[in-house]
Amino acid sequence: MDTRQHKSAIWIIVSGILGIILFLLFLAVLRYAAIYFANAFLAGFADFLFSNTGLIIFLGIMFMIADLFYSFSFPLNLPGPIFSAIGSIFLIAFLFHILGFIDDTYGFGIFPGLYIVEFFIYPIVFLIVLVAGYWSIFSSMADKERVVKEPTQEPAAGPEKKSSEVKNWDDIGDEFKEMLYDIFHRIREEIRQK
């Protein structure tokens, strides 16, 4: 089961924006540390991240939009795999930028060979992520339909037979949340009475 469907849209947006803000804070601290310690590699890595900031932020936004669509139910979740596939292309591009940075820093000379492979990897990754995303959506729909179509067993009539209710993890989580709410509510009421 896809856990993204249990996240609310607001939580996905807030966590995505918070992730971008944390990245920018990390970048500012890294640039300050590179200046403070006067380390050539640290300064080069900070400059590399700074020059790729737009790509990293765009990558985060693509995955945030994909998670947002995945949080909806069918058919509103259908654009999710497209944004995931676009985000995966930019992730591959960023990984190749990292390999280029390492190659330039240490002078391995292997990046020109990887440059040829790069153009073959983009469409392959795009198709794999796209197919996997739609496979996930349609297989979860098939699982839901199978659960709905399965006949429920009626308990036998009689005083000794009790109806058994099968609980899933969502029900247990809801009961746990209600229990925590009751505990905190009681504590708050006790504090107010004192």
pLDDT in tens, 130-185: 998 888 878 877 666 665 565 555 555 545 444 445 555 566 666 656 766 666 66
How many independent structural domains does the chain possess?
1
Q: Are 122 and 89 in contact (CB under 8 A)?
A: yes
With respect to residue 190, please indicate whether it lies within any of the assigned structural domains: no
With respect to residue 35, please indicate whether it lies within any of the assigned structural domains: yes
Q: Are 42 and 32 in contact (CB under 8 A)?
A: no
Burial (0-12, 13-18, 19+ Cβ within 10 Å), 121:
middle
Q: Are 79 and 16 in contact (CB under 8 A)?
A: no
Give me the domain span that covers residue 24: 3-149
With respect to residue 136, please indicate whether it lies within any of the assigned structural domains: yes
Q: Are 85 and 130 in contact (CB under 8 A)?
A: yes
Instruction: Give residue for tokens 């209600």.
Output: 178
Whether pTM > 0.75 for this model: the answer is: no
Q: Which residues contact 119 (CB under 8 A, 6 or more apart)?
A: none
With respect to residue 7, please indicate whether it lies within any of the assigned structural domains: yes
pLDDT in tens, 108-134: 666 666 777 878 888 899 999 999 888
